[in-house]
Amino acid sequence: MLFVICASSGAGKTTIIRELFKRFPAISFSVSATTRNKRPNETDGKDYHFISIEEFNAKKANNEFIETEEVHGNFYGTLKREVEPFLNSKDIMILDVDVKGALNIKDLYKEAVTVFIDVPYEVLVSRLKRRNTETEAEIEKRSSRIKMEAELKHRFDYIVDNSAGIDKAVSETEKIINKYIA
Ligand code: 5GP
């Protein structure tokens, strides 16, 4: 089973996924490849396979990805070798991808379950501004991406509201996963 969890940045997705792994230790995580730089708290091979743009392009040419996207100027791709063992299997794998990637995966594998973690557009944009780490132009770019993502959320199998506290969103997502556990 592929379980695709998706949200705009700042919507709490990473925290929710971390909590889900505590509750379902047997679930696997699809480690994507990315060209972005590793952050200090990340581990290569666990959070991502951190690779150069040349390696990324070579893998793409070699047909090693099921989907790729450019997000905020970096490339990301879901590797076939990660997900293939979980197709036609009762074992669950969680994928953390952007909205377009999620919808592409759903097109490819109708049986994949897609979940959108929802926080109102205005809340996300005000968080982004308060963070004060991006330039005005960058905030503009990210805001229009959040808008595009919100417009696509109705194509997901489930929408989980994360505006009333993370615990509620985690338990709602947990309930969804439980429906699919044999
Ligand atoms: P970050 O760089 O903050 O870890 O991730 C940025 C965005 O890229 C997030 O929305 C994350 O879900 C998305 N992402 C991570 N891996 C993949 C992938 O393999 N494919 C796609 N389409 N998006 C990904």
Distance (angstroms) between ligand 1 centre and the Cα of 23 equals 23
End-to-end CA separation in angstroms for the chain: 11
Which of 93, 68, 114 has its CA nearest to residue 2?
93
- Residue with CA at minimum distance from ligand 1 atom 17: 97
Look up the domain containing 91 and give its range. 2-181
Summarize the confidence of residues 151-174 as an average pLDDT.
Answer: 95
Give the Cα separation of 166 and 79 in Å (integer). Answer: 29
Residue 62: what pLDDT? 98
The pLDDT value given to residue 72: 87
Residue to substitute in 5, 8, 29, 32 for testing ligand 1 pocket (most ligand atoms within 8 angstroms of CB): 32
Find out whether the beta carbon of 65 lies less than 6 Å from any atom of ligand 1: no
Question: Is it the case that residue 164 has pLDDT exceeding 90?
Answer: no
Pocket of ligand 1 contains residue 117 by CB under 6 Å: no
Q: Which of 15, 98, 115 to mutate to test the pocket of ligand 1 (most atoms within 8 A of CB)?
A: 98
Q: Is the pLDDT of residue 182 over 80?
A: no
Mean pLDDT of 98-104: 96
CA gap 76, 116 in Å, rounded:
19
CATH of the domain at 117: 3.40.50.300
Q: Using a 6 Å cutoff on CB, does residue 116 contact ligand 1?
A: no
Distance in Å, CA 88 to ligand 1 centroid: 24
**Residue 83 C-beta-side C-alpha neighbours within 13 Å:** 23
State the total domains in the chain. 1
Of the ranges 10-14, 16-20, 41-45, 109-113, which one carries the lowest mean pLDDT score? 10-14
Residue 65 CB-density burial (10 A; 0-12 exposed, 13-18 middle, 19+ buried): buried
pTM, two decimals, is: 0.94
pLDDT surpassing 90 at residue 107? yes
Measured from the CB, is residue 71 less than 6 Å from ligand 1? Answer: yes
77 backbone dihedrals φ, ψ, rounded to 5°: -150, 140
DSSP-assigned letter for residue 44: B
pLDDT in tens, 83-100: 999 998 999 999 999 999
**Ligand 1, atom nearest to 65 Cα:** 19
Query: 135 has which bridge partners?
Result: none
User: Length of the chain, please?
Assistant: 182
Q: What is the mean pLDDT of residues 73-77?
A: 96
Strand partners, 77: 33, 68
Nearest residue to 172 via CA among 25, 12, 63, 9:
12
